[in-house]
Amino acid sequence: MANLKRLKIKRNIVQGLALLLGNANLPGFVNGTIYQGPLKRVCLPGLNCYSCPGALGACPIGSLQNGLADPFWRIPFYVLGLLSLFGLVLGRFICGWLCPFGWFQELLHKIRSPKLNLAKSHARLHKTLLWGKTAMLSGLVILTPLLLRVLTGYGIPAFCTYVCPSGTLMAGIPLLSANEGLRGLAGWLFSWKMSVLLAVAVLSVLIYRPFCRYLCPLGAIYGFFNRISLYRISVDPQLCTHCGRCTRQCPMQVPIPYDGNGPECIRCGECAAVCPEGAIRIGFGKHVKEQDQASGLSEKTR
Amino acid sequence: MTRPHPHIRQLTRTESIRRALLFALTAIALLVGLLRDETRLVLQRAIQICLGCIGIG
């Protein structure tokens, strides 16, 4: 239990530092302006709105949509390459440790209230809802900008405009609070986006990371890479006693010994922290291989 | 009771090939993107306040 407590503190510190490092332009929050320096050429790994007054980097989903909406039909190779690189190296570790909006939902989930576990109580609904991420990615992030571009010449970043609650929280609220000129322009769209944010916030109190599980297009992208990412989970069969503690502890309800590298695992590490046998390792490939060799497993037995 | 083998495998050969191919494609995409100065396009967009993002359509 001490392990788990230490891990949770460590993860909170890393999440806080990631938020601060990615949004270190603090004067922007006072002036109601955004950072316009060269660092914004690089995308941040998490769902971090580039219109946040503090943001030092660009949002990967916003950049992807704008690239796809480009009137000159240029494929956004750079953004696709960066997303792929983040996914191949870290997978959904980014969701669990670096994404500011994921942390926001986790903090809300700490509020004492009855908790909903859809994976247990409504397994079928849960499985269906998991496809929401892919639907959001293909429908609003990719297809809508592309199709609108065909019809009107320039597509719109539909996910950012109509859904993204991270944008409302990190950019909309601080900018409208500090910038009077913008405040006067807020209309029905802002009310709609505030409603989306409020809905996600209320659901986050009841359900662990509902947006990450069911709606986040970035989670869908990194989930695709989770099975082959360099940072991964390994379970030693010689140490595992099938006690099931890891799966019961997993906040994302991933069956760790059977599908630990599946698309839903956010690499929070709680499974490894509670394993009484120390059978679960999380990290980059090399130490996992060494561990396998030590436990006498050959390629053929896998 | 017989249980399925619980060990999470290292990558299968197919997965290793897929990973290597994806790394190669990623490197090519980044190289092409950088050569086409796409970072400038990202910067151009990111330094303007995204009115949609903040709820002003």
Query: CA A18, A130, A213: angle at the middle one, nearest 5?
Result: 20
Answer whether A167's CB lies under 8 Å from A60's CB: no
Which residues of chain B lie closer than 8 angstroms to A82, CB-CB? 30
Q: Give the other-Cβ count within 10 Å of A164's Cβ.
A: 36
Beta bridge partners of A233: A282
Average pLDDT (A105-127) is 94
At A229 the pLDDT is 94
Is 80 exceeded by the pLDDT of residue A154? no
What are the boundaries of each domain within chain A? Answer: 2-224, 232-295
The answer to whether the Cβ–Cβ distance between B27 and A176 falls below 8 Å is no
pLDDT at residue number A289: 46
Q: What pLDDT shows up at residue A182?
A: 84
Q: How high does pLDDT run on average in chain B?
A: 82
Q: Tokens 């709820």 appear where?
A: B55
Kindly state the percentage of chain A with pLDDT values over 90: 73
Report chain A's mean pLDDT, rounded to a whole number.
90
As a whole number of angstroms, the distance between CA A284 and CA A231 comes to: 4
Residue-wise pLDDT for A63-73, tens only, equals 999 888 877 77
State the average pLDDT over residues A219-248.
92
Residue A7 has pLDDT above 60, yes or no: yes
Whether pLDDT at A293 is above 60: no
**What's the maximum distance between 2 C-alpha atoms anywhere in chain B?**
62
Residues A256-282: pLDDT tens digits?
A: 888 889 999 999 999 999 999 999 999
**Is residue A46 scored above 60 in pLDDT?**
yes
Find the residue in B nearest to A42 (Cα). B39
Average pLDDT value for residue range A29-47: 92
Residues of chain A contacting B56 with CB distance shorter than 8 Å: 182, 185-187, 189-190
Q: Which of the four pLDDT bands, split at 50, 70 and 90, describes residue B10?
A: low
Q: What pLDDT, in 10s, does the model give residues B30-52?
A: 999 999 999 998 888 888 888 77
| Contact status, residue A196 vs residue A163, Cβ threshold 8 Å | yes
Helices A77-90 and A60-68 cross at an angle (nearest 10°) of 150
Can you give the pLDDT at residue A285? 64
Tell me which of A11-15, A233-237, B51-55 is least confident.
Answer: B51-55
Overall pTM surpassing 0.80 (yes/no): yes
Instruction: Please give the C-alpha separations between residue A279 and each of A240, A263, A267, A275, A292, in angstroms, as whole numbers.
Output: 5, 21, 15, 7, 11
**Both structure tokens of A148:** 């609108």
Chain A residue numbers touching B31 (CB-CB < 8 A): 81
Q: How confident is the model at residue A163 (pLDDT cuts 50, 70, 90)?
A: very high
What is the pLDDT, as a whole number, of residue A122?
Answer: 92
By Cβ distance, the residue of B6, B19, B52 closest to A258 is B6
Find the mean pLDDT for residues A279-290.
70
> Which CATH number applies to A232-295?
3.30.70.20
Token pair 């960066």 is found at A82
pLDDT of residue A301: 38
Q: Residue B4: its chain A contacts at CB < 8 A?
A: 258
Establish if B13 touches chain A: CB-CB under 8 angstroms: no
Residue bearing the bigger pLDDT, B41 or A202: A202
A positions 136-155 inside 8 Å of B (CB): none
Q: What is the mean pLDDT of residues A72-81?
A: 89
**pLDDT for A296 beyond 90:** no
- For the residues A79-96, what does the mean pLDDT come to? 97
Two tokens, residue A106: 């986790």
User: Nearest to residue B46, comparing CAs of A145, A39, A31?
Assistant: A39
Q: Which residues of A touch B52 (CB under 8 A)?
A: 156-157, 160-162, 189
- The pLDDT, as a whole number, for residue A96 is 97
pLDDT given at position A90: 97
Query: Per the CB < 8 Å rule, is A77 touching B32?
Result: yes
Give the per-residue pLDDT at B33: 94
Q: What is the 3-state secondary structure (H, E, C) of A102-117?
A: HHHHHHHHCCCCCCCC
B30 touching A (Cβ < 8 Å): yes
Residue B52 forms contact with A (CB below 8 Å):
yes
What are the residues whose beta carbons fall under 8 Å from the beta carbon of A74, sequence distance 6 or more?
A: A67, B36, B38, B41
